[in-house]
Amino acid sequence: MKEFRGKVAVVTGATSVIGLALSEKFASVGMKVVLADVEEKSLVKAAKMIGKKGAVTLAVLTDVSRAEDVDDLAEKTVSSFGGVHILCNNASALKGGVSREMPLDDYARQLEVDIWGVIHGFRSFVPIMIAQNDEAHIVNTSLVSGILRTPNTAAYSASAHAVLAMSESLHHEFSLSGYKIRVSVLLPTTIVSNIDGSVRNRPKRCRSVHPTKSDVAVDSVKAGMAQTMKGGITPSMVADQVLQAIRDERLYILTEGGDSNRWRKVLNMRLKETRELRKSLRIT
């Protein structure tokens, strides 16, 4: 996709660090932006802020873990703007902890937002993209944990792997089908952000009452990440790189800057495997 002005972008997790930056970036190039998030006050505030800059926006309260919410998001997008050209499945429920101690509800919430949120996204929007027969692009946000794993991150590493795998599978499906839909998977490295921001939106069933070893481990991980993030790139820089990747129709978006070089070698190996698979499937 080369032209963006007048087209429609949908961003889930739109009030998060990356989601908000993506929404602002799409608005800056003349797109109509649909902001979806589970936190109503922040959602309304973000939509107004972007709208004041002259962009056309629509705010839709959405819990991506609920299929009916995402169906409603798709219906409101089409009824308001007539179609959709970019879908960013960006919502996340980041939560770490000692794997054997994390409550089952924590695992469930991580998977239902990070994995099912992506599934609901493409199931609701892809039929619309196919029917409109126009250029379209899906960006699924994963994590560098989708390439390499670290301690105390079993739940979100598992979801990151799943999002990466689904993105690759969709990429090949659309290439084989001839549809005008492209797919990218965003693999953020070190970004200046509030790493604990998503915890505030967790259902009551997922909130620990008593500290555990898992909580202590999470605090340790957060402290290390916070220190690392001091040298990270800004969300705006991430959004710039995503927009360029959409122009270039790139599958993998490993954000440049920060500590990206340490992940580059592993991703290059994965890219080689992807190219070999495309040859075996006779995808040009």
Helices (H), ranges, 212-260:
213-229, 235-248
Q: Do the beta carbons of residue 87 and residue 122 sit within 8 Å?
A: yes
Whole-angstrom distance, CA of residue 2 vs CA of residue 84: 15
In the β-sheet with 181-187, what is the strand arrangement from edge to edge? 57-61, 32-37, 8-12, 86-89, 136-141, 181-187, 252-254
Q: Do the beta carbons of residue 266 and residue 161 sit within 8 Å?
A: no
Whole-angstrom distance, CA of residue 88 vs CA of residue 265: 26
Whole-angstrom distance, CA of residue 40 vs CA of residue 217: 31
Collapsed DSSP state (helix, strand, coil) of residue 9: strand
| Positions marked active-site | 156
* Those residues with Cβ within 8 angstroms of residue 44's Cβ, 6 or more apart along the chain or in another chain: 59
Name the CATH superfamily housing domain 8-280. NAD(P)-binding Rossmann-like Domain (3.40.50.720)
Each residue's pLDDT, cut to its tens digit, for the chain (284 residues) gives: 999 999 999 999 999 999 999 999 999 999 999 999 999 999 999 999 999 999 999 999 999 999 999 999 999 999 999 999 999 999 998 777 888 888 899 899 999 999 999 999 999 999 999 999 999 999 999 977 656 666 787 888 889 999 999 999 999 999 999 899 999 999 987 776 654 444 445 555 444 444 455 455 455 444 444 444 445 789 999 999 999 999 999 999 988 655 555 656 666 666 676 666 666 766 65
Q: Where are the domains of the chain?
A: 8-280
Bridge-partner residues for 87, per DSSP? 10, 138
